[in-house]
């Protein structure tokens, strides 16, 4: 099953016999608070217009736990996550489509969580809300409760030790911007740099100017050129497990399974005992 869906495909699916549950996960990483500016308000954006029938999901409150030692966006409590998904109408036998404002990071986080916890049919709207050509709605739906019961998979998830080991035994991609990987700038976390052995693979190079993913064959060629072979293990991390989920999604489009280090750099860098590499060299 393809991990992404086009706007035209979604329109057809919504008119079909088993229309998908549609989740609006608009969110933006914001450092505006430091400058005294108000942070992005996804709920207000949803209220101003959303895909007809879409239900809003709050990334910070429903797709992540409380920030702390586990990073800025650690895993949510699984029972609470399941309750949040059932609130939106998510059921095991009904497809789910997730979208955000176009960047794709937040939608990918919801996609990854649902897939990792066992939902069989989840896709991300390629290009997000800007790709939708139909009417928008301001009506807030009241879906019937779903029956989704999350059952986390045994694989697909890395902790700090697992990420460090994979950087030596397989391929660990760093999905952040190159300057953060190299340690030239670090606007959020305690220190700049990367996990020793990790390979720089910025998320923004997986999409075109319109925010849609590059063709699968181009993505596969990109990742293989960076070291993702046919038989090796692949993992991804970023700042806090959000843009990294987008890279896991890009790898899925390319046909390459990958695990996510959810704690990512926000967890790794918070412990002064963990090693930090700087510069363009993975080591």
Instruction: Compute the half-sphere exposure of residue 142: CA atoms within 13 Å on the CB side of its CA.
Output: 0
Structure tokens at 75: 């895993």
Q: 12: which 2 tokens?
A: 């057809």
Task: State how far the Cα of 125 lies from the Cα of 100, in Å rounded to an integer.
Answer: 8
Let me know: does 145 contact 85? Beta carbons within 8 Å. Answer: no
Q: Which residue has the tokens 């993975």?
A: 282
Beta strands in 13-103 (DSSP E): 21-24, 55-56, 96-99
CA pair distance 80, 240, nearest whole angstrom: 20
Active-site residue identified among 45, 129, 234, 238: 238
Question: How deeply is 178 buried, as exposed, middle or buried, from its count of CB atoms within 10 A (0-12, 13-18, 19+)?
Answer: middle
Catalytic, 238? Answer yes
**Contacting residues for 231 by C-beta, under 8 A, at least 6 apart:** none
Half-sphere exposure of 32 (CA within 13 A, CB side): 8
| Residues with active-site annotation | 238
């Amino acid at each position: 099953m393809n991990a992404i869906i086009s706007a035209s495909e979604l329109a057809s699916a919504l008119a079909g016999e088993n229309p998908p549950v549609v989740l609006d996960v608009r969110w933006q990483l914001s450092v505006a608070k430091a400058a005294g500016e108000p942070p992005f308000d996804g709920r207000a954006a949803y209220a101003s217009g959303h895909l007809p029938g879409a239900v809003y999901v709050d990334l910070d409150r429903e797709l992540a736990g409380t920030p702390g030692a586990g990073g800025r966006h650690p895993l949510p409590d699984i029972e609470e996550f399941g309750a949040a998904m059932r609130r939106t109408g998510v059921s095991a036998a009904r497809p789910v489509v997730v979208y955000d404002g176009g960047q794709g990071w937040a939608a990918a986080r919801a996609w990854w969580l649902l897939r990792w916890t066992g939902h069989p049919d989840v896709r991300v709207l390629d290009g997000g809300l800007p790709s939708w050509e139909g009417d928008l709605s301001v009506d807030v739906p009241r879906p019937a409760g779903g029956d989704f019961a999350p059952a986390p998979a045994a694989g697909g998830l890395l902790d700090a030790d697992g990420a460090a080991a994979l950087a030596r035994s397989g391929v660990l991609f760093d999905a952040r911007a190159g300057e953060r990987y190299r340690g030239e700038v670090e606007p959020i976390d305690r220190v700049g740099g990367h996990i020793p052995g990790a390979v720089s693979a910025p998320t923004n190079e997986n999409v075109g100017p319109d925010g849609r993913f590059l063709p699968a064959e181009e993505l596969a060629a990109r990742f293989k050129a960076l070291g993702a072979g046919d038989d090796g293990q692949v993992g991804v991390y970023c700042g806090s497990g959000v843009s990294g989920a987008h890279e896991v999604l890009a790898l899925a489009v390319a046909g390459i399974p990958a695990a996510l280090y959810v704690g990512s750099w926000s967890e790794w860098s918070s412990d002064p005992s963990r090693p930090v590499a700087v510069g363009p060299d993975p080591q």
